[in-house]
Structure 1
Amino acid sequence: MNWIEVSLQLLGGLAIFLYGMHIASDGLRKSSSYQLNLFLRKVTKNQWYGALAGIVLAAILQSSTAATVMIVGFVNAGLISLRRAMGVLLGSAVGTTFTVQLIAFAITDYALVFVILGVLLFLFDSRFRSYGSIVLGFGFVFFGLDLMTGAMEPLQSSELFRESLVFISDYPLLFVLVAAVFTAIIQNSAATIALLFALTSSGLISLEAAVYAVYGANLGTVVTAMIASLKTSKDAQRAALAHAIFKAIGVAIFIPFTQMFVQVLPLLGGDVERQIANAHTIFNIVNMLLLLPFCNRFADWMVRLLPEKMEPSKHVKHIDRDTVQFPAVGLLQARKELERMSGKIRDDMFPHLITMIRDEKTRAAVVEEEKVIDHLYKAIYHHLQQMMEQDLNDRESEEALKLLYFNNDLERMANTVKDMTRVIAKLDRGGKALSEWERTKVAELYEEVMQSFNDAIQGFQNQDEEVALRVIHSNPKILRMERELRYQHFHQGASSSSTVSVVFSDLMNGMLRIHQHSVNISHTLLGMV
């Protein structure tokens, strides 16, 4: 037996299998990204609906690891609460078993037919490319599985290989550990179970050993999510840890009953591959049904286990780099961060536009807040740029572009407020002050501009085009009001100081610039970019 040839065929089959899973998952994601986004927002209102969402999510992504990373990303963005995430995580483990059940069908002989059909769909029309990727991906999955099965046949005659497996069989927990480590390395439990199909069908390991390895494959899926959560919010870390504990509890429950479990599997029918697939499905369904009623308590325990540390909060709260590969999550995180950014401008900067006329400390606080806004702007900008380097569909590209425009307008608003602090500082240096009449007129324009800003933000957050149109229609009114106030200033209430007159005019110009960015945000919502 040529060990090099066997190793190359086995590793080559595994590589083709993993690549097939990748492009099939990518095709499924692109063909249903927008619907998936809406679905997840609507069906996480309780644990059972959340479990359903997790099942659908993992079935679409063809990977419980990817699904878990996405869920952690949703929690980090504040789109799903920690309690709701518990059910979604349990459901995602069930959803990924659909892939293994599909692979268990004896259709490896038709792998190349899938490849041919996938290529034809991919080349036929750009509208069918995502569907072509799905078919082509599964073609590679079945072809890779066929190669791995073929690589196992020569190993049946190897005494060394058989003795090694017999030795490991005497230590079932070693099977769990090896499968967990292997799955953690390749980040795909379906590939581990596909390898079990090849080993078991070749007679190299028993069904019982394969079941222990199934437990390990489930454990190994938690590693990627744990790593992805390291630099996320505390709730996201709690969700990743809960996912690991769920899997560990499931393995602990099943191990004592494994021999009984193995005796039941043949009664369900099917060949040995189907029995392994059924073991994987039953493990996750039972685990979900057992733990789902305790999800809220688990969330409370996770809060106690990972308490919030009293540390200075970082500027960026909701986005993390691990979600760039999942546009549905990455875009929602960017939108959530932008909503937070607009809230900081509304609550921590705009209210001081009037009070900072008299208070130097307030102006200094506004300047410091602008630095935070600038930091957020850069983080969101780089996050969206990295996402746009991915192969996004048309809807995702349009959304990313809108968010870039929105980010730009918010940052310029903050810059404008900072510039206005410098304008007001001229009064202090010259020992001057705005008159009561001038402060009153600035406040009048401020009220109109702030109403316009609040409407613009509300329209963008709620995707409300009527509110956006209201902002745009308010533009002539605010422009006319500014001209009238400037006219009154020069002809009725003008100060004898040229410095005061310049400051008054500059403050009016600043208000107009803020309003113009509100109009720009509304134009962006309406697709006028």
Structure 2
Amino acid sequence: MNTEILKSLLAFGGGLGMFIYGMQLMADGLQKSAGAKTRNLLAILTNNRIVGVLVGALITAIIQSSSATTVMVVGFVNAGLMNLSQAIGVIMGANIGTTMTGWLVSMSEWGSFFKPDFFAPLLLVAGTAIMLFSKTERTRQVSSILVGFGILFIGLNTMSGAIAPYSDEPIFYQAFTVIGSNPLFGLLVGAVVTAVIQSSSASMGILQTLAFNGVVNWGSAAFIALGQNIGTCVTALISCIGAHRNAQRAAMLHLLFNIIGSILVGTAVWIFFLINPAISHATVSGTSLALFHTGFNIATTVLLFPFANVLVKMSERLIPDHGEVEEKKYVHLDKRMLMGPSFAFDAIRQEIIHMGTLALENISFSRDVLVNPDHFAKMEENEQKIDEYQKELANYLEKFDASTLPPREQVEMQHAMLMINHIERISDYCMNIRDSAKDMLDEKMSEYTIEDINTISSQAYKTMKYALKMRESYDIDHYEKVEKHENRVDEMESRMRETYIDRLNSGKYNVREGIYFLDTIYNYERISDHASKLAEYTLQEA
């Protein structure tokens, strides 16, 4: 092989590496910067598919990868946080959002000021300076965006420079003529290249680089671009291996949507080129490719949006249930959601609330367990669920890279680890009360014991109730209520302990009942203390 050709190939490969790395660095900076703003996106994902399309486009524009968005969607569906009706809208939007990279790449054709060799060094200098002297996480995120942007364009410039000397070589003309004469071949090339590098944005960047050097015609570029949309589905299909049926259907929805869209638009383009062969042989610019890519994805969404339910039914037919009953899971977390840390953390917040709600139920059940024996079994069931929550949440949190989270969420991650332990301890104290009550089922309790236990348990319940409300809403006004009820529990426990001694001395208590009573009020006091800790952590984050 000619040395010059080898150098050009290495330069092209190095440029591609810089392009992909720069895109990832920029996306990481954007995601961290926007994490706090996008934390509630899951909450607005109703069955309104238009909202789903907008959310999907926004998320993908931020993380610069439709594959990553779709993999997260598969994770959300697998965890039960999203249904297929919601997923289809997000998937449609992801295809639109991924076209943002193409517009960034095409900027080099918009004038001298936008050429990479002019502003890429400025971005690198500015980004590096900010990185060296920044004192806040926010400014470091800005530096990542600028440096990533600069590296992306330097990589693009390197790829373009490697191809430029060979732009007049017959091999390019011959190759793209062959591709242009066979649309299926163009679709295959686009799909395979994208599947290999697992990024439609990167494969579009390569195609645009070839376009900058005038070696690509419309007849080949259009079908390669359509094929790229099919190739990008590979990542989600791989990620759904071992997932539940619905998660596999979500990945299938992505594939169906892109294949049908490529067939519809591809057929229209093929007919157009048959009528206008001159356009098919004309060279294409990077900006024209970006426009075609965006237009194609918007057109596909508009065409298939009314048939979203049909696509869902098709995915269900292709991946049937076969009468299988999937294992019931209480904890709705999935490793695929870790690709979007801010969104995964939103799921963790919800699961902590669910875990706390089970503990709150056990506080209520423990209060009247003596008069309602059915609560023994219900408390045991809740305790098992809470233990599962603690295990799953702890394992999930350990997989987080704290550096990928904004500062506020780094603190919240530390608190989450502590909170799941506090909630588990609350449930343990409830089980202590239940176990003590088992020994007293045949005993007749004094009115004093029943009244005092009802009073202190009611206050402990309210402490936990307002702590959970505060956690869910981040309304710090609830903190005063938490502290009010927690202080009452402390006062009651101390006063009831002293009163017990007096009643024991006067013969109003037997020793066995007294031991049960002291043990029970102690457990409620500890429950209230742990609930108060939950509120303290939330107050620090608010």
TM category (shorter chain) comes to 0.7 to 0.9
Q: Which of 448, 466, 480 pairs up with 2:477?
A: 466
CA distance in 1, matches of 2:519, 2:421: 22
Q: Does 1:346 align with 2:360?
A: yes
User: Measured at CA, do residues 364 and 525 of structure 1 come closer, stay the same or move farther in structure 2, by a change above 3 Å?
Assistant: same
The range that moved more, 361-370 or 94-103, is: 361-370
- Summarize deviations over 1:364-384 as a string: whole Å, max 9, x none: 664454233222112212322
User: Measured at CA, do residues 417 and 47 of structure 1 come closer, stay the same or move farther in structure 2, by a change above 3 Å?
Assistant: same
The range that moved more, 504-513 or 50-59, is: 50-59
RMSD across aligned positions (CA): 3.3
CA distance in 1, matches of 2:156, 2:54: 29
CA distance in 1, matches of 2:408, 2:130: 21
Q: Which residue of 2 aligns with 1:435?
A: 445
**Alignment check: 8 A CA contact 1:44 1:80 kept:** no
Q: Does 1:255 align with 2:257?
A: no
Q: Which residue of 1 aligns with 2:537?
A: 524
Q: Which of 116, 126, 141 pairs up with 1:117?
A: 126
User: Measured at CA, do residues 405 and 39 of structure 1 come closer, stay the same or move farther in structure 2, by a change above 3 Å?
Assistant: same
User: Measured at CA, do residues 303 and 446 of structure 1 come closer, stay the same or move farther in structure 2, by a change above 3 Å?
Assistant: farther
Letter in 1 for 2:7: E
CA distance in 1, matches of 2:44, 2:433: 43
Shift of 1:160: 6.8
**Alignment check: 8 A CA contact 1:388 1:400 kept:** no
CA distance in 2, matches of 1:287, 1:441: 67
Q: Which of 256, 274, 281 pairs up with 2:287?
A: 274
- Summarize deviations over 1:162-217 as a string: whole Å, max 9, x none: 76665555543233223223222322211101111233444554322121111111
CA distance in 2, matches of 1:223, 1:305: 17
Q: Does 1:19 align with 2:33?
A: no
**Alignment check: 8 A CA contact 1:28 1:134 kept:** yes
**Alignment check: 8 A CA contact 1:455 1:467 kept:** yes
Q: Which residue of 2 aligns with 1:450?
A: 461
Letter in 1 for 2:308: C
Letter in 2 for 1:114: L
- Summarize deviations over 1:269-313 as a string: whole Å, max 9, x none: 995212221221111010111122333554465566656642331
Q: Which residue of 1 aligns with 2:412?
A: 399
CA distance in 2, matches of 1:105, 1:517: 56
User: Measured at CA, do residues 203 and 482 of structure 1 come closer, stay the same or move farther in structure 2, by a change above 3 Å?
Assistant: same
User: Measured at CA, do residues 312 and 350 of structure 1 come closer, stay the same or move farther in structure 2, by a change above 3 Å?
Assistant: farther
CA distance in 2, matches of 1:522, 1:125: 33
CA distance in 2, matches of 1:242, 1:339: 31
Q: Does 1:150 align with 2:161?
A: yes
Shift of 1:119: 1.7
User: Measured at CA, do residues 416 and 300 of structure 1 come closer, stay the same or move farther in structure 2, by a change above 3 Å?
Assistant: farther
Shift of 1:321: 1.7
**Alignment check: 8 A CA contact 2:460 2:486 kept:** no
In the TM superposition, 1:232-247 aligns within 5 A as 235-247=246-258
- Summarize deviations over 1:333-361 as a string: whole Å, max 9, x none: 101211222233334x3343145447888
User: Measured at CA, do residues 218 and 238 of structure 1 come closer, stay the same or move farther in structure 2, by a change above 3 Å?
Assistant: same
Letter in 2 for 1:29: Q
CA distance in 2, matches of 1:26, 1:126: 19
- Summarize deviations over 1:129-155 as a string: whole Å, max 9, x none: 212211211211111112222333455
Q: Which of 312, 327, 332 pairs up with 2:327?
A: 312
In the TM superposition, 1:32-71 aligns within 5 A as 32-38=34-40, 41-42=43-44, 46-71=48-73
Shift of 1:327: 2.0
Letter in 2 for 1:124: F
In the TM superposition, 1:183-262 aligns within 5 A as 183-202=194-213, 204-230=215-241, 235-260=246-271
The range that moved more, 32-41 or 216-225, is: 32-41
- SS for the counterpart of 1:526 is helix
Shift of 1:495: 6.7
CA distance in 1, matches of 2:142, 2:279: 35
| Identity within the alignment, % | 28
Letter in 2 for 1:405: L
In the TM superposition, 1:2-17 aligns within 5 A as 2=3, 3-17=5-19
**Alignment check: 8 A CA contact 1:19 1:140 kept:** yes
Shift of 1:483: 3.3
Letter in 2 for 1:12: G
Q: Which residue of 1 aligns with 2:106?
A: 104
Shift of 1:434: 5.5
**Alignment check: 8 A CA contact 2:353 2:471 kept:** no
**Alignment check: 8 A CA contact 2:77 2:83 kept:** yes
User: Measured at CA, do residues 130 and 265 of structure 1 come closer, stay the same or move farther in structure 2, by a change above 3 Å?
Assistant: farther
Q: Does 1:287 align with 2:327?
A: no
Q: Which of 409, 421, 425 pairs up with 1:412?
A: 425
Shift of 1:407: 1.6
Shift of 1:101: 1.4
- Summarize deviations over 1:435-490 as a string: whole Å, max 9, x none: 25334532332233223322221221122222232111112222223334334444
Q: Which residue of 2 aligns with 1:322?
A: 336
CA distance in 2, matches of 1:261, 1:77: 44
Shift of 1:422: 4.1
- SS for the counterpart of 1:226 is helix
**Alignment check: 8 A CA contact 1:14 1:145 kept:** yes
CA distance in 1, matches of 2:444, 2:352: 35
Q: Which residue of 1 aligns with 2:349?
A: 335
CA distance in 2, matches of 1:511, 1:214: 65
TM-score by length of 2: 0.85
User: Measured at CA, do residues 40 and 314 of structure 1 come closer, stay the same or move farther in structure 2, by a change above 3 Å?
Assistant: closer
Letter in 2 for 1:123: L
CA distance in 2, matches of 1:410, 1:200: 59
Q: Does 1:373 align with 2:386?
A: yes
- SS for the counterpart of 2:540 is coil
CA distance in 2, matches of 1:59, 1:164: 32
Shift of 1:260: 4.8
Q: Which residue of 1 aligns with 2:524?
A: 511
The range that moved more, 507-516 or 32-41, is: 32-41
User: Measured at CA, do residues 299 and 399 of structure 1 come closer, stay the same or move farther in structure 2, by a change above 3 Å?
Assistant: farther
Shift of 1:245: 1.5
CA distance in 1, matches of 2:62, 2:397: 24
Shift of 1:228: 3.4
